[in-house]
Amino acid sequence: MAEEKIRFNLEKFAEDLSRRRAEITDLRQSSIESRDVVELDQTRVGRLSRMDALQSQAMSLESERRRQLELEKIEMTLTRLQNGNFGYCLKCDEEIQIKRLELDPTVTLCIDCASDK
């Protein structure tokens, strides 16, 4: 029964993930553009503003790194959806709880394996 429920939701998961992937791709594009702006500003502003600029650049690099990680997880999950491994724990091969997947479709471990690190 649980399996039926997961199958029923597969398309929705794939849709949500594809939408999220498009969002992240857009965000990355606009953050690349704003990073360019920061660099241009540095040529005509003083030291303090330069430090601000460096700090915001570090922050934007950090969120870029996080977006990259999320994108990788999404790609991996979409592959798992395609090859039929989605919803199964990578470690014990049991079904991952549907509630867990609804919360975060990119989880790859069941609650038991995830809490037993």
Is residue 35 within 8 Å of residue 60, measured between CB atoms? Answer: yes
Q: Site size for Zn ion, by CB under 5 A?
A: 5
Part of the chain binding Zn ion (CB under 5 A), chosen from 14-22, 41-49, 67-75, 89-97 = 89-97
Left if phi > 0, otherwise alpha if psi is -120 to 50, otherwise beta: which for 46? beta
DSSP per residue over 26-93, as a string?
HHHHHHHHHHHHHHHHHTTS-HHHHHHHHHHHHHHHHHHHHHHHHHHHHHHHHHHHHTT-TTB-TTT-
Considering the rule CB under 5 A, would residue 90 count as an interface residue with Zn ion? Answer: no
Considering the rule CB under 5 A, would residue 101 count as an interface residue with Zn ion? Answer: no
Considering the rule CB under 5 A, would residue 113 count as an interface residue with Zn ion? Answer: yes
53 vs 101 by CB, closer to Zn ion: 101
Considering the rule CB under 5 A, would residue 17 count as an interface residue with Zn ion? Answer: no
43 vs 115 by CB, closer to Zn ion: 115
Q: Which of 17, 81, 89, 107 binds Zn ion (CB under 5 A)?
A: 89
CB of 113 to Zn ion, least distance (A): 3
Q: Is 64 exposed, middle or buried (0-12, 13-18, 19+ CB in 10 A)?
A: middle
Considering the rule CB under 5 A, would residue 91 count as an interface residue with Zn ion? Answer: yes
- Applying CB under 5 A, the residues found at the interface with Zn ion are 89, 91-92, 110, 113
